[in-house]
Structure formats: structure tokens, C-alpha cells
């Protein structure tokens, strides 16, 4: 999945779940200052991302990464990283010979 595909799917979640407008969303949009999300919204967002991208946030593994998310592009990076950890070695660029 490309970063553009991830971006489109994340924006779709934000539009549907939080009633945001697409024109308000760009990679540098702040989740808290510009979008007005709060801590409860963050939990709802994580649940929606888990459902959409078929992964689970593991508390002691992902907690610091989740806390570091401030902008829309941080979400994309987190999802890409999660997908790499779930992918097989060939998809991560690691080939065992």
C-alpha cells in the first residue's frame, strides 16, 4: 500500500468519524490544535485505524509512538511502520538466504 493510499483512507476516516472537511486536511494538519481532537477522540481514531488497516496497537510496544503523533503525516508514518512489522521478510526488504 502506498503512502497516498494510506493518506486517502485516513482522511476518509477523519471525514466520516469526526465530520471534518477534506479541504481542512493536509499532511501538516495538527490533530489537536487544528482538528480539535481530544484524548477521547484519539482513542476513537486508534480504534478506527486498527479496524481499517487490520492491526492492533500493543500498549507497551506502541504507546510512545502513539503519544508522538501530532500531525496527519505522523499517522501515515505510524501505519507504514505497523505494516512493515506485520509483513513478511520479503516485503520488508529482508531476504533470508
Distance CA 51, CA 92 (A): 22
Looking at residue 96, what is its pLDDT? Answer: 43
**Percent of the chain whose predicted confidence (pLDDT) is above 70:** 90
The stretch 41-51 carries a mean pLDDT of: 96
Residue 35 DSSP symbol: S
Q: What is the mean pLDDT of the chain?
A: 90
Task: Say if residue 93's pLDDT is above 60.
Answer: no
CB count within 10 Å of CB 71 equals 18
The stretch 12-22 carries a mean pLDDT of: 96
Those residues whose C-beta lies under 8 Å from the C-beta of residue 29, and which sit 6 or more positions away, are: 35, 71, 72
Looking at residue 94, what is its pLDDT? Answer: 42
Those residues whose C-beta lies under 8 Å from the C-beta of residue 22, and which sit 6 or more positions away, are: 11, 15
pLDDT band at 92 (very low <50, low <70, confident <90, very high): very low
Sign of CA dihedral 51, 53, 80, 12: negative
pLDDT band at 88 (very low <50, low <70, confident <90, very high): low
Q: End-to-end alpha-carbon separation of the chain, Å?
A: 26
What domains appear along the chain, each with residue ranges and CATH number? Answer: 3-88 (1.10.1200.10)
Q: SS3 of 69, please? A: coil
Amino acid at each position: 500500500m502506498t503512502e497516498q493510499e494510506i493518506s486517502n483512507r485516513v482522511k476518509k476516516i477523519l471525514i466520516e468519524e469526526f465530520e471534518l472537511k477534506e479541504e481542512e486536511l493536509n499532511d501538516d494538519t495538527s490533530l489537536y490544535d487544528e482538528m480539535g481532537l481530544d484524548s477521547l477522540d484519539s482513542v476513537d481514531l486508534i480504534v478506527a485505524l486498527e479496524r481499517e488497516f487490520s492491526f492492533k496497537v500493543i500498549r507497551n510496544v506502541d504507546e510512545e509512538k502513539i503519544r508522538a503523533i501530532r500531525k496527519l503525516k505522523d499517522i501515515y508514518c505510524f501505519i507504514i511502520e505497523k505494516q512493515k512489522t506485520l509483513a513478511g521478510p520479503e516485503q520488508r526488504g529482508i531476504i533470508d538466504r
